[in-house]
Structure 1
Amino acid sequence: MTEKITNLNTTKNEYRNRELSWLQFNARVLQEAEDPSVPLIERLRFLGIFSNNLDEFFKVRYATVRRIVEAGKGGRSFLGGISASDLLEEITQIVIEQQAHSLRILKKIRSELHKENIYIINETEVTKAQSEFISDYFIRKVSPALVTIMIGELEEFPSLKDSAAYLAVRMVMKKDDETFQSRSNFALIEIPKIIDRFIVLPSKGDKQYIIILDDLIRYCLNNIFSIFKYESISAHMIKITRDAELDIDSDLSRSFLEKISKSVKKRSSGDPVRFVYDKSIDAETLQFLLQKMGIDTTDSIIPGGRYHNRRDYMKFPSLGRTDLLYKKIEPLPIKGLSLQGSLLDKIAKKDYLLYAPYQSFSYVVKFLREAALDPNVKSIQITIYRLAQISHIASSLINAVKNGKKVTVQIELQARFDEEANIEYAEQMQSEGVRLIFGVSGLKVHCKACVIERLEGKKIKRYAFISTGNFNESTAQIYTDYTLFTSNQKIGKEINKVFDFFEVNYKIKKYSHLIVSPHYTRNAMYHLIDTEIQNKKNGKSSGIRLKMNSLSDFKMIDKLYQASRAGVKIKLIIRGICCLIPGVKGMSENIEVISIVDKFLEHPRLFIFENGGDAKIYISSADFMGRNLDNRVEITCPIYDEDIKQELIDTFEISWKDNIKARIISGKALNKYRKSDEEPFRSQFKLYEYYQQKLKN
Structure 2
Amino acid sequence: MTEKIEPESNTKNQYQNRELSWLQFNARVLQEAADESVPLIERLRFIGIFSNNLDEFFKVRYATLKRIVEAGKGGRSFLGGISAKELMEEITKTVIDQQKNSLRILRQINHKLKEENIFIIDETQVTESQSEFISDYFIRKVSPAMVTIMIGELEAFPSLKDSAAYLAVKMVMKKEDETFITKYNYALIEIPRSIERFVVLPKEGDKQFIIILDDLIRYCLDNLFSIFNYKSITAHMIKITRDAELDIDSDLSKSFIDKISKSVKNRSVGDPVRFVYDKKIEDSTLKFLLHKMGIDKTDSLIPGGRYHNRRDYMSFPSMGRPDLQYEPKNPVPIAGLSLKGSLLDKIAEKDYLLHAPYQTFSYVIKFLREAALDPNVKTIKITIYRLAQVSHIASSLINAVKNGKQVTVQIELQARFDEEANIFYAEQMQSEGVQLIFGVSGLKVHCKTCLIERLENKKIKRYALVSTGNFNESTARIYTDYTLFTSNQKICKEINKVFDFFEVNYKVKKYEHLIVSPHYTRNAIYHLIHNEIENKKRGLPNGIKLKLNSLSDFKMIDKLYEASRAGVSIKLIVRGICCLIPGVKGMSENIEAISIVGKFLEHPRLFIFENAGDPKVYISSADFMGRNLDNRVEITCPLYDADIRQQILEMFEIGWSDNVKARVITSAHDNAYRSNDKIKVRSQLAMYDYYLNKLQSKELVEN
Q: Please, what TM-score do these two structures have when normalized by structure 1?
A: 0.99
CA contact (8 A) 1:607 1:618 kept: yes
- Give the Cα separation in 1 of the matches to 2:21 and 2:194: 35
Question: Over residues 45-98 of structure 1, what are the superposed CA-to-partner deviations in whole Å (9 max), with x where a residue is unaligned?
Answer: 000000000000000000001111111011001000101100000000000000
Measure how far apart 1:622 and its partner are.
0.2
Question: What SS does structure 2 have at the residue aligned with 1:233?
Answer: strand
Measure how far apart 1:5 and its partner are.
7.1
Verify: 1:109 aligned to 2:109, yes or no. yes
CA contact (8 A) 1:10 1:587 kept: no
1:496 aligned partner: 496
2:35 aligned partner: 35
2:383 aligned partner: 383
Measure how far apart 1:12 and its partner are.
5.8
- Give the Cα separation in 1 of the matches to 2:410 and 2:187: 46
Q: Structure 1 runs of 4+ off > 4 angstroms?
A: 8-13
CA contact (8 A) 2:617 2:639 kept: yes
Verify: 1:127 aligned to 2:127, yes or no. yes
The number of equivalent residue pairs is 694
Question: What SS does structure 2 have at the residue aligned with 1:678?
Answer: coil
- Give the Cα separation in 1 of the matches to 2:688 and 2:527: 35
Percentage of matched positions with identical amino acids: 78
Measure how far apart 1:9 and its partner are.
5.0
Verify: 1:271 aligned to 2:266, yes or no. no
Question: What SS does structure 2 have at the residue aligned with 1:180?
Answer: coil
Question: Over residues 254-294 of structure 1, what are the superposed CA-to-partner deviations in whole Å (9 max), with x where a residue is unaligned?
Answer: 11100000000000010000000000000110000000001
1:475 aligned partner: 475
Q: Which amino acid aligns with 2:686?
A: K
- Give the Cα separation in 2 of the matches to 1:534 and 1:447: 31
2:222 aligned partner: 222
In the TM superposition, 1:46-65 aligns within 5 A as 46-65=46-65
Measure how far apart 1:679 and its partner are.
1.8
1:260 aligned partner: 260
Question: What SS does structure 1 have at the residue aligned with 2:222?
Answer: helix
CA contact (8 A) 1:379 1:453 kept: yes
Measure how far apart 1:603 and its partner are.
0.2
1:506 aligned partner: 506
Question: Over residues 150-205 of structure 1, what are the superposed CA-to-partner deviations in whole Å (9 max), with x where a residue is unaligned?
Answer: 00110000000000000000000000111111100100000000000000000000
Q: Which amino acid aligns with 1:194?
A: S
Q: Which amino acid aligns with 1:35?
A: D
Question: Over residues 441-495 of structure 1, what are the superposed CA-to-partner deviations in whole Å (9 max), with x where a residue is unaligned?
Answer: 1110000000000000111000001000000000000000000000001111111
In the TM superposition, 1:416-565 aligns within 5 A as 416-565=416-565
- Give the Cα separation in 2 of the matches to 1:202 and 1:89: 46
Q: Which amino acid aligns with 2:66?
A: R
1:648 aligned partner: 648
- Give the Cα separation in 2 of the matches to 1:343 and 1:585: 52
1:148 aligned partner: 148
Verify: 1:21 aligned to 2:17, yes or no. no
Q: Which amino acid aligns with 2:69?
A: V
CA contact (8 A) 2:594 2:662 kept: yes
Measure how far apart 1:678 and its partner are.
1.3
1:393 aligned partner: 393
- Give the Cα separation in 2 of the matches to 1:187 and 1:493: 62
Q: Which amino acid aligns with 2:173?
A: M
1:373 aligned partner: 373
- Give the Cα separation in 1 of the matches to 2:631 and 2:99: 34
- Give the Cα separation in 2 of the matches to 1:298 and 1:443: 31
2:337 aligned partner: 337
2:615 aligned partner: 615
Uncovered stretches (5+) of structure 1, i.e. residues with no partner: none
1:7 aligned partner: 5
2:700 aligned partner: none
2:570 aligned partner: 570
CA contact (8 A) 2:377 2:454 kept: yes
Q: Which amino acid aligns with 2:5?
A: N
Q: Which amino acid aligns with 2:667?
A: G
CA contact (8 A) 1:12 1:587 kept: no
- Give the Cα separation in 2 of the matches to 1:96 and 1:8: 34
CA contact (8 A) 1:11 1:586 kept: no
Question: What SS does structure 1 have at the residue aligned with 2:379?
Answer: strand
Q: Which amino acid aligns with 2:558?
A: D
Question: What SS does structure 1 have at the residue aligned with 2:584?
Answer: coil
2:701 aligned partner: none
In the TM superposition, 1:669-680 aligns within 5 A as 669-680=669-680
Q: Which amino acid aligns with 1:327?
A: E
1:346 aligned partner: 346
Question: Over residues 567-616 of structure 1, what are the superposed CA-to-partner deviations in whole Å (9 max), with x where a residue is unaligned?
Answer: 00000000000000000000000000000000000000000000001110
Question: Over residues 353-395 of structure 1, what are the superposed CA-to-partner deviations in whole Å (9 max), with x where a residue is unaligned?
Answer: 0000000000000000000000000000000000001010000
Uncovered stretches (5+) of structure 2, i.e. residues with no partner: 698-703
Question: Over residues 554-578 of structure 1, what are the superposed CA-to-partner deviations in whole Å (9 max), with x where a residue is unaligned?
Answer: 0000000000000000000000000
CA contact (8 A) 1:11 1:587 kept: no
Q: Which amino acid aligns with 2:529?
A: I
- Give the Cα separation in 1 of the matches to 2:499 and 2:157: 49
Question: What SS does structure 2 have at the residue aligned with 1:618?
Answer: strand
1:118 aligned partner: 118
Q: Please, what TM-score do these two structures have when normalized by structure 2?
A: 0.98
- Give the Cα separation in 2 of the matches to 1:7 and 1:526: 25
- Give the Cα separation in 2 of the matches to 1:127 and 1:565: 68
In the TM superposition, 1:585-664 aligns within 5 A as 585-664=585-664
CA contact (8 A) 1:239 1:275 kept: yes
Question: Over residues 386-419 of structure 1, what are the superposed CA-to-partner deviations in whole Å (9 max), with x where a residue is unaligned?
Answer: 0001010000000000000000000000000000
Question: What SS does structure 2 have at the residue aligned with 1:408?
Answer: strand
- Give the Cα separation in 2 of the matches to 1:5 and 1:424: 53
Q: Which amino acid aligns with 1:472?
A: N
Question: What SS does structure 2 have at the residue aligned with 1:673?
Answer: coil
Q: Which amino acid aligns with 1:630?
A: D
1:250 aligned partner: 250
Question: What SS does structure 2 have at the residue aligned with 1:215?
Answer: helix
- Give the Cα separation in 2 of the matches to 1:114 and 1:96: 27
Q: Which amino acid aligns with 1:399?
A: N
Q: Which amino acid aligns with 1:258?
A: D
1:84 aligned partner: 84
Question: What SS does structure 2 have at the residue aligned with 1:672?
Answer: coil
1:73 aligned partner: 73
- Give the Cα separation in 1 of the matches to 2:75 and 2:144: 49
1:180 aligned partner: 180
Question: What SS does structure 2 have at the residue aligned with 1:33?
Answer: helix
- Give the Cα separation in 2 of the matches to 1:144 and 1:457: 64
- Give the Cα separation in 2 of the matches to 1:10 and 1:601: 38
Measure how far apart 1:7 and its partner are.
2.4
CA contact (8 A) 2:4 2:585 kept: no
- Give the Cα separation in 1 of the matches to 2:423 and 2:347: 33
1:682 aligned partner: 682
Measure how far apart 1:696 and its partner are.
2.4
CA contact (8 A) 1:664 1:674 kept: yes
Measure how far apart 1:8 and its partner are.
5.0
Q: Which amino acid aligns with 2:653?
A: E
- Give the Cα separation in 2 of the matches to 1:11 and 1:157: 51
CA contact (8 A) 1:201 1:209 kept: yes
- Give the Cα separation in 2 of the matches to 1:460 and 1:536: 44
- Give the Cα separation in 2 of the matches to 1:138 and 1:153: 27
Measure how far apart 1:680 and its partner are.
1.1
- Mean alpha-carbon deviation: is it higher for 9-18 or for 409-418? 9-18
CA RMSD of aligned residues (A): 0.9
Q: Which amino acid aligns with 1:631?
A: N
Measure how far apart 1:648 and its partner are.
0.2
Measure how far apart 1:249 and its partner are.
1.1
Question: What SS does structure 2 have at the residue aligned with 1:92?
Answer: helix
Q: Which amino acid aligns with 1:660?
A: V
Q: Which amino acid aligns with 1:567?
A: G
1:98 aligned partner: 98
- Give the Cα separation in 2 of the matches to 1:6 and 1:88: 29
